[in-house]
Amino acid sequence: MTQRVTAELRGLRDLPYGTARTAATETIARRVEAEGPPEALAEALLDLVEAYTFSGEGAKSFVTFARLLRLWDQSPELFDAADRRNLFWEFKWIAADLADFPQISPEQAEAFLADMQRRFELAGNGLSSVRVSRFLWAWWTGRSDVEQSRLAWIGGERDEFEDCEACTIGNQTHYFVEIGDYESAVAIGVTQQSRCNKEPACTHHATALAALLSGDPELALAQHRLALATTTDENNQNASARTKCFEMLARGGRLETALAILRNDDAAQLRGAASPLQQLRFLLGIIAGLSANLPEHSDLETGLPDPEMGDVASLHAWATREAGLLAEKFDARNGNYYYELRLDRALAAPLAERPLPEESPAIPAIDASELAPEPVGLGHVGTASAGASLDHEATAEQATGDTHFANAERALTRKQYLEAARHYAASAEAFVHEGWIERAGLAYAEAAQSAAEGSDDETAHRGFATAIPLLHTGGAEANVIVSVLTAWAPVAARLRREGEPMLLMAECLTRLESVPDRPSGELSDELAARLRREQISTRATARDTLARLIASADPRLLPDQLDRDRAAREATTAGEEYAQLGRLADAAHAFWLAGKVQRELGRTSDALWSLESAFEGFTAARAKQQRADAASELIELLRQAGRLERADEIAAALID
């Protein structure tokens, strides 16, 4: 029985943190508490603490960890060697969360830290994790002895329960930024070479802000790029790091880029960070970045759907009000004015003395109409294309386009994305002059995709917009145009400029729907079947992409006939068409999107059906990560609908 529980828990550890993993772990813990075996209880509770801690439910971890300590005191024999190590390892997770909730008093926190030290000493463990816990408590509560606590931590002997080297550097970098010692932050931040579930991305974000504010914008930009390159699903919700990303860009003269990252990646943290303190710390960085741009950019739209946050001035006012309320609670608990002073500092934040350096675009601004004659249509459907040309005579200059294209491919293999984009754009211009219009369109699309990989969405957007009319004129097939529009879609969504690709895709879909599934002409059954599958696949991709563009756009700005209902319908139909082709993972993604949209529209029954379909599709496709993410949303909705038994069944289904 113990081996069975261990195997079940091990399977859950491969899942992403979230509602589904937490619910499944809760299911195992409840079963073990009720039915045994008692030897498995410690492991189940330890895994539950981890699930709570890293799913933004730190408050629940306190109760479960207290249960673990009682079990340890009453029956230490139930803990094997791995359980004992994990118990003491998780101590610092709980200690780190003490400052995050204003209802935890200093007396309670000090009692916990004292008990932590007592238990470590009794067990014969080193005290490095106790020292780092005391430092974090002193830092996040604004105590005057914080520097002494840091030095005691850093100067003490390291042991097996110490934070990893990456976090040791990361915590200090963030600390130095917060106290305004930017030179020290840069000095330690640039030494980051290690990795963990949070690092090195978090350190790079802090170092970028410190570099900007210490007068080195070139280093700031380099560290920002490193941060983006090392961002993962595990560290992309770290409020302290993400807010420094916003502040650095906004104070460095790139407010629009900062706002784009905020609305695309971090908007949920404005209201729903992992804890009250994490929300406050996130808001302080947002306020600093916005303050530096007032009043000049007060009317700039943020792109956030919340009407209270529609422009820079209103977002600033809302964030200031919310941060003030939180600061008051924490300062009352801490017995000082630490967060009130931090808020004052954020409100007075200026632009950096030296802004981030301008970067020459990888793709120059181009009017596509000047490169090619009027489009001849939306492309062929089900017919061959050899790459249309205005002049099929090869010229001596043709090698120029091919040479640039080859250079781009080499740059791409080295992951030099912006360099690749420049070469692709140069090859596209050469192809135009040589008369190879479709090849030019494809080269511009490659340039755009490379720019997107290099985090230059403005350039990517311009490149895709240039590519599409060239592909139309060059006679590119519908599946090519749909593929390019699909690649354009996430870039347009990040920039909140979904309108152009949305309308183009809707027009393309109308044409695709007019083509019968059964190809005409004298074709073999095998060829006819293949062409039919290609047509259905292209149409499903067009539907799915159109649905995603509509779903991401501001509902107030959607054109007629392209509303949220249309998004739900197209996503559902796309899921059915993908399923018809046996593309189960794609079908599941489409149903998942339909469920999200239907949930937003308040259509609970439809949303439950779609999310159930997504869960089943990911199960059949053996896509464990996506299955768990879809299950999280399904479980949440089932609970809201009062279908607790079915929610428990979904959680249990995740247990292998």
Class assignment of domain 563-656?
mainly alpha
At the topology level, CATH places domain 365-393+435-552 in: 1.25.40
Q: What is the pLDDT of residue 656?
A: 72
Note whether 595 and 610 are within 8 A (CB). yes
Evaluate if residue 401 carries a pLDDT over 80: yes
Q: What is the pLDDT of residue 310?
A: 93
Per residue in 637-647, pLDDT (tens digit) is 999 999 999 99
Higher pLDDT, 381 or 188: 188
Q: What is the pTM of this model?
A: 0.83
Q: Which of 591, 358, 378, 636 shows the shortest CA–CA distance to 484?
A: 378
Q: Where in the chain is the domain with CATH 1.25.40.10?
A: 563-656
Instruction: Please report, to the nearest 10 degrees, the dihedral formed by the alpha carbons of residues 56, 58, 60, 63 taken in order.
Output: 160
Helix residue ranges per DSSP H, 371-498? 398-413, 417-434, 437-453, 457-474, 478-495
Q: Identify the three-state secondary structure at position 254.
A: coil
Q: What is the pLDDT of residue 228?
A: 87
User: Which sign, positive or negative, has the C-alpha torsion 611, 612, 614, 618?
Assistant: positive
User: Cα(135)–Cα(151) distance, rounded to whole angstroms?
Assistant: 9
How many other CB atoms sit within 10 Å of the CB of residue 384?
6
User: Cα(98)–Cα(113) distance, rounded to whole angstroms?
Assistant: 10
Instruction: Please report, to the nearest 10 degrees, the dihedral formed by the alpha carbons of residues 203, 207, 209, 214 taken in order.
Output: 160
Structure confidence at residue 341 as a pLDDT band (50, 70, 90): very high
Note whether 243 and 280 are within 8 A (CB). no
Per residue in 247-264, pLDDT (tens digit) is 999 999 999 999 989 998
